[in-house]
């Protein structure tokens, strides 16, 4: 039996497949939008976190670093730096950040140099609060390793 696909059949397959794909896309979009409030950690957002995000953008940190997988791959991932360098303790992490930011640029040969941004103690603490907040977003275990 040699049955051929007619123009009408091809059109039905095209429109049916397109409609099916559109419905799948709409369903997945709805599911994603529904999950955002549960996973975004928005309830923990403070003025300090917002200020830290503003500093992140103003100093173009994403031009070198990645955060939650987005940005440049020149410098380390910072989505989990709170766990990695602060052992999930805010006081320890803020102390680390104060020392790290004050020590830049490090004079180590053959090492990528982070610029000195001359941030105040309050600004560094706000940046630390932003990174702490970011580390608590449910990212489905991203990044896959503690070192990013």
pLDDT band at 77; cut points 50, 70, 90: very high
Q: Are 114 and 105 in contact (CB under 8 A)?
A: yes
- What average pLDDT does range 99-117 have in this prediction? 90
pLDDT 10s digits, 4-19: 889 999 999 999 999 9
| Average pLDDT score over the chain | 92
Say what the pLDDT of residue 3 is. 79
Torsion of CA 60, 142, 134, 74, to 10 degrees: -20
Q: What residues contact 143, with CB distance under 8 A and at least 6 apart?
A: 69, 77, 79, 80
Q: What number is the average pLDDT over the span 128-136?
A: 95
Q: Which two tokens stand for residue 56?
A: 């992140």
Domain 42-148 classified CATH 1.10.760.10?
yes
* pTM attached to this predicted model: 0.79
What is the model's pLDDT at position 43?
86
Residues 6+ apart with CB under 8 A from 128: 52, 82, 90, 93, 94, 97
The answer to whether 73 and 148 have CB atoms below 8 angstroms apart is no
Tens digits of per-residue pLDDT, 26-60? 999 999 999 988 888 888 899 999 999 999 999 99
Percent of the chain with pLDDT over 70: 98
- Tell me how far apart the alpha carbons of residues 42 and 49 are, in angstroms, rounded to a whole number: 10
Give domain limits for the chain.
7-39, 42-148
- Note the Cα 41 to chain centre separation in Å: 13
Mean pLDDT of 99-104: 95
| Beta partners for residue 66, in sequence order | 71, 77
């Amino acid at each position: 039996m040699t049955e051929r696909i007619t123009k009408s059949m091809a059109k039905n397959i095209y429109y049916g497949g397109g409609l099916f794909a559109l419905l799948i896309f709409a369903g997945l979009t709805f599911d994603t939008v529904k999950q955002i409030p549960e996973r975004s950690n928005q309830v923990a957002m403070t003025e300090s976190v917002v200020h830290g995000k503003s500093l992140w953008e103003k100093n173009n940190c994403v031009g070198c670093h990645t955060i939650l997988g987005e940005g440049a791959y020149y410098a380390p991932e910072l989505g989990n730096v709170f766990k990695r360098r602060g052992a999930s303790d805010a006081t320890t992490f803020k102390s680390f950040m104060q020392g790290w930011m004050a020590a830049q640029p490090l004079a180590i040969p053959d090492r990528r140099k982070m610029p000195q941004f001359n941030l105040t103690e309050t600004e560094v603490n706000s940046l630390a609060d932003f990174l702490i907040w970011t580390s608590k977003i449910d990212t489905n275990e991203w990044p896959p390793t503690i070192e990013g």
